[in-house]
Amino acid sequence: MKNVAVIGAGTMGNGIAHTFAQSGFKVNLIDISEQSLERGIATIAKNLDRMVAKEKITEADKQNTLGNITTYTDTKEGVANVELVVEAATENTDLKLKIFKDLDAFCNDSTILATNTSSISITQIAAVTASGRQDKVIGMHFMNPVPIMKLVEIIRGYNTSDEVTKTIMDLSEQLGKVPVEVNDYPGFVANRILMPMINEAIETLYNGVAGVYEIDTVMKLGMAHPMGPLQLADFIGLDVCLSILEVMYNGFKNPKYAPCPLLVNMVRAGKLGVKSGEGFYDYSESKKAEKVAAMFSN
């Protein structure tokens, strides 16, 4: 397997494309927006520059990685003759079902179709493809930031074959990742454990038990987490957290997965975390300027 297509040039998509390209694969990076593709390639180049500066790779490695990536705005053209497609579009069920229906029509019969979904049923996604394709649909859930994080959750749908599962497990190891096979239930393993913790941290804030800084500090210093759950929620995106919790709540019908009203209201208000400049923390340019000024005043 040497030819791969990645659907979506956002945070996860460009990270996945970067990882495959750096490992020597030819990657077709696909997005409906030319501007998104340009931003995606710029992000990959910036991340590679950091690696060059830290002497983890050479300038030649950087150029080879970028040379392995070709961009497309036409999905049909971009997935022609690839052996694997990794879908990394927005975490929206209807959108993913449409993409997989199109991929089923556009791709060769032998092409494996993987999704980077963090919560949506692989079996449900596979069901929109032809019956002869469903054994080749699988979950390949990378962690953010993709070039750095080692874990890949490999999720088997109801009809995913042993052969395809082994192929994707082996492929993940070729990328320098550690694949972990899990079964197809809402939230899989990572988010089934992580999201209730984040939701409980938001409930703790909502109930006035402690403030944002205090909650995160307890979890960082007391539980040895690299970042607190509220900071992590900002990093993931509060809209993404809400979407995952809703998938789990609808899938299990268990009130413990019901999103906290504070999370719902913050998403409605457009406070989505790092991506919007404000969530539980302020990431605006003015706030950054204040921090810089404070550094020089000390």
| Positions marked catalytic | 118, 141, 153, 191
Instruction: Give the CA distances from residue 111 to residues 81, 86, 106, 134, 154, in Å, rounded to whole numbers and listed in that order.
Output: 8, 11, 10, 11, 17
Q: How far apart are CA 173 and CA 193, in angstroms?
A: 24
Handedness of CA 227, 229, 234, 235 (dihedral sign): positive
- The residues, any chain, with a CB within 8 Å of residue 100's CB and separated by 6 or more, are 87, 113, 115, 125, 126, 128, 129, 137
- The residues, any chain, with a CB within 8 Å of residue 175's CB and separated by 6 or more, are 19, 20, 23, 152
**Phi-psi domain of 261 (left: phi exceeds 0; alpha: psi -120 through 50; beta: other):** alpha
Question: What is the enclosing helix (H) or strand (E) of 27?
Answer: strand 26-30
Phi/psi of residue 179, each to 5°?
A: -80, 140
Q: How far apart are CA 19 and CA 154, in angstroms?
A: 16
Peptide bond before 145: cis, by omega within 30 degrees of 0? yes
Q: How far apart are CA 50 and CA 118, in angstroms?
A: 27
Check if the beta carbon of residue 69 is closer than 8 Å to that of residue 25.
no
- The residues, any chain, with a CB within 8 Å of residue 89's CB and separated by 6 or more, are 7, 8, 13, 95, 96, 99
